[in-house]
Amino acid sequence: MNPEDITVAGVRTALASGSSTAEAITRACLDRIAAHDDTIHAFLAVFADRAIERAGAVDARIAGGESPESIGAMAGVPVAIKDNICLDHGRTTAASVMLEAYESPFSATAAARLEDAGAIILGKTNLDEFGMGSSCEYSAFGATRNPWDISRTPGGSSGGSAAAVAAGFVPVAIGSDTGGSVRQPAAMCGCVGLKPSYGTVSRHGLIAYASSLDQIGPMTRTVEDAAAVLEVIAGADADDATCLDRPAPKLTHDLHEPVEGLKIAVPRQAQADAVDPMVRLIFGMSCKVFAELGAELMEVELDHAELAIPAYYTIACAEASTNLARYDGIRFGRRAEIGPNDPLEELYIRSRSEGFGPEVRRRIMLGTHALRAGFADKLYERAMRARRVIKADYDAIFRVMQADAVLTPTAPGPAFELGSRAGAPTDLYLEDTFTVGANLAGLPAISLSAGFVPSEGGSLPVGIQLTGHTHSEAKLLRIAAMFERASSVGGRVAV
């Protein structure tokens, strides 16, 4: 199998028929990584020997009479894991000097479930440090480049995972999404990115950024693969108190059944002047596709949409300030060198100043300020009130208007040039305009490739986002599959 053609279902068919082996598929992906990743820099670590060994074990079980299905739903499928998700082998760095030597003694629940289902983890992917960024430039170990145009960002913070899928290195990558970190890079790299409802996938083993917003999700080339992966990683987990006590949803059985009487809500903000004209054009074409599928398109107003970015960044930074306080050079994280006569305070200052990059330091300071006595009621508590009214806006669309999904662009523009947002953090934060609402409200959302726009380096993908009501992943994926079949845009590989 060619690496750029691999899908979850395709691997299962190839192994069952004997037309290929898990080891051959794994070696093909590793060869492609070796050939191209020096340019893309999607991976921070590749576990070639371990991957080949595990693939050989899958082949041995099949040779012994087991079917791929009996081994697991992901038997022989090459997978990449974002490097803020713990594995019990290699290092888990969160792309930070603070954790550059950290070796986790355990694997995150999501990663362990993938391996239990037969997946072959090829390596760890790059990200914005601790998941804080929208361009994958804020990694301590160098930026990732967009496979469609290497002068441009792949998006972030799960930029390495998106680039790995778009470049044909792996058919499946796992990312984390705090305010759009799965969906925005998926849009900019032309793949599928799914953020499940909060609590659907265990966060055990995910290095925390903002605990009330973080969620793990799959990045794939097809909707069907995203559904298959979510079936494996979702479900109750006693190791995560925020993970809901409910079984993993059944998503693939009825995936290709169309949704009857489909109602799509289209917010006025989706066509605002702040959205790139070419993105507005592709978004309009996407609306036309849904109309041709028989969907009723309803124009709506997200009354408090302008509050989403300030509320999100206040809450996320406040939670980051608390979560990252443990990295002080004594309890956790890299310890700086100090002189024998330096005070203990100097150890804390140097360890945190040397260990954290500029964007992480900025967000910690913003969050600490938002939680200060005398400011918390004006900033953090006000942001939490905004969060509630934003959720109420979505609830009204789903419960009162009976919409099945809300349709928007995923990002206001296509992938931008690396370095073009340097020194302008607020411009970078606005890349999350359409994605943060789903995190604030705890809703599922999926990004799909909807078309391409011209660039000097060739063409750049543009994504659309579908947001559903809580725990509507099955319906949301069916709607996404309808669009994917009708548009025939997705599934392309860049290099």
pTM metric for this prediction: 0.97
Which residues are marked as active site? 82, 157, 181
Domains of the chain by residue range: 306-381
pLDDT at residue 160 in the model: 98
Preceding peptide of 158 cis, ω within 30°: no
Cα–chain center distance at 26: 23
Helix, strand, coil percentages for the chain (3-state, nearest 5): 40, 15, 40
Under-50 pLDDT residues of the chain: none
| H or E element at residue 365 | helix 358-371
What's the whole-number average pLDDT of the chain?
96
pLDDT tens, position by position, 445-493: 999 999 999 988 779 999 999 999 999 999 999 999 999 999 988 667 7
pLDDT at residue 495 in the model: 62
pLDDT at residue 493 in the model: 73
pLDDT tens, position by position, 346-377: 999 999 999 999 999 999 999 999 999 888 98
DSSP state string for 153-172 = ---SSSHHHHHHHHTTS-SE
Strand partners, 298: 265
| Antiparallel, parallel or unpaired: β 215-220 and 172-177 | antiparallel
